[in-house]
Structure formats: C-alpha cells, structure tokens
Amino acid sequence: MSILKAVISSHPTLDNNGDDCTIMAIIGLERTGKTKLAFCKLGDQKWSAIQDDEEREFEDLSYCNGRLYALDESSEAIVVCNIGPSLGVRQIAVQPESYSEDGSNYLIEFCGDLLHLQVKWCYEDGGRISGFKFFRLEQNNQTWSEVKSLGDYSLFLEFRGSISLLASDHPGVKPNCIYFLEYTNELLCVVFSLDNCSFEYFSVDTGCRITVVSLWVTPSLW
C-alpha cells in the first residue's frame, strides 16, 4: 500500500487544538493496482477507508470550503467525500468537456473556489505540456464556467500539491502565470503566461544525479 496523494483540511495545531484536522489520501493498492480513498484524524490509530460501491479509480483530491472533493479517472466524475457517521462518496458533477485526449486533470482550491484544470500534452514534442484550461465549479447548480485569468495570482502546479500565491506579495513571481517543472534531458522550470499563452523555460541545476521528487513549498501553509 502506498499514499499517492494526500490533502489536509486545516492547521493541525492552531485550529481548535487540531480537532477538525483531517487528512484525506488516495491510497494505491499494490496487489490489485487500484486506488482507494481513505482518511484519518489527529489521534486516530489507523486509516479509515471510504466505501465506494462503484469502485471508482481516483486521480486527484482537493479540500475546498469545508468539503473534500475527489476526481474519478475512469468515469470523469467529481465526487464529494462523506467522512461523517455514514462513510461514502456522492457524485455532484462530471468533468467539463476535455479539449485534448492527451491530457491530465487536476482539482485545485483557488480563492475559495474549486477549479478543474486541464493540462494538454504534446507527445510529438517529446512529451511537453502545450496548454491549459481552467474551469470553476458553480456551487448553486454544479456546472462549470471557464476561467480565463488568475488575476494577480499565480499557480505553482504539482500533482503532490499545487500552491496559489498573490504575486504582488512575492517579489519575482509573475502574476497570471502557471509555474511547473518539466523533465526532458534536463530539469526545467517552466512559466506559462495566461496573458499571451507563452512559455518561458529556465534550467534548474540541482547538482544531484538521482531523480528527486518535486514539491513546491512556502514559508507557511496558513
């Protein structure tokens, strides 16, 4: 068993002594190759599995406005995870129509909204990312509306955990951009501008010959 991705609901020490802190994870099962959803709270001795009668395969998680959301890879469904007395998942929406069959999908909490990010890959160009599309979930009717701009914010994208920052609070960070790492013959930091759909590439010299796990970090998550 391995943890493929995990999200945390709140600060484990500052909010109500951690009573409301929940960790949600996508668990990879080595015997079957399938994935399951599980969670634990501070003080729990073990993970609790979340029952899903449809046995969906999940590819991403996000915590937004007090709710845990998961993205189903096979049926392209968005589900809400119930971690109360009756464990389970409930489908609330389907993914917006994809503009590329060769792509990846992310769920991202952004300024209180749940965003669905579509990443387009171009395999003819050595497997590079060639474009993005954002959609915001409208909570009143569970539909999607396309987002054209992040405003003064920028997104640092990574499967294990994406971070959004107010660019004006961080000198050197460009607004309305997506930052991500790309692995080709060398490690590159790529900056995609939503203003003009352009890419900038910067070489990252880690001084390390082994493959490292990439992760964006900030001085404080809260």
- Residue type for position 104: S
Residue 156 and residue 81 share a domain:
no
Residue 196 and residue 142 share a domain:
no
Measuring CA to CA, which residue among 181, 178, 203, 204 is closest to residue 191?
Answer: 178
Q: Cα-atom radius of gyration of the chain, to the nearest Å?
A: 18
100 phi and psi, to 5 degrees? Answer: -160, 135
Residue 90 and residue 21 share a domain:
yes
CA 116 to chain centre: 9
Residue 11 and residue 76 share a domain:
yes
CATH number of the domain enclosing 114: 2.120.10.80
pTM above 0.75, yes or no: yes
Residue 180 and residue 125 share a domain:
no
* Domain limits for position 56: 2-148
The whole-number pLDDT of residue 42 equals: 81
Residue 82 confidence (pLDDT) above 80: no
Residue 161 and residue 144 share a domain:
no
169 phi and psi, to 5 degrees? Answer: -90, -5
Residue 173 and residue 94 share a domain:
no
The contacts of residue 164 (CB under 8 Å, 6+ apart) are 108, 110, 111, 150, 153, 154, 155, 156
Residue 153 confidence (pLDDT) above 60: yes
Residue 144 and residue 156 share a domain:
no
Could you tell me the pLDDT band of residue 150, with boundaries at 50, 70 and 90? very high
Tokens (6 digits) for 184: 């080709």
Q: Average pLDDT for residues 87-101, to the nearest whole number?
A: 73
Residue 18 and residue 124 share a domain:
yes
Return the SS3 of 124.
helix
Residue 87 and residue 53 share a domain:
yes
Residue that finishes a domain, picked among 148, 167, 197:
148
Q: How many domains does the chain have?
A: 2
Residue 135 and residue 27 share a domain:
yes
- The answer to whether 158 touches 215, Cβ cutoff 8 Å, is yes
Residue 177 and residue 67 share a domain:
no
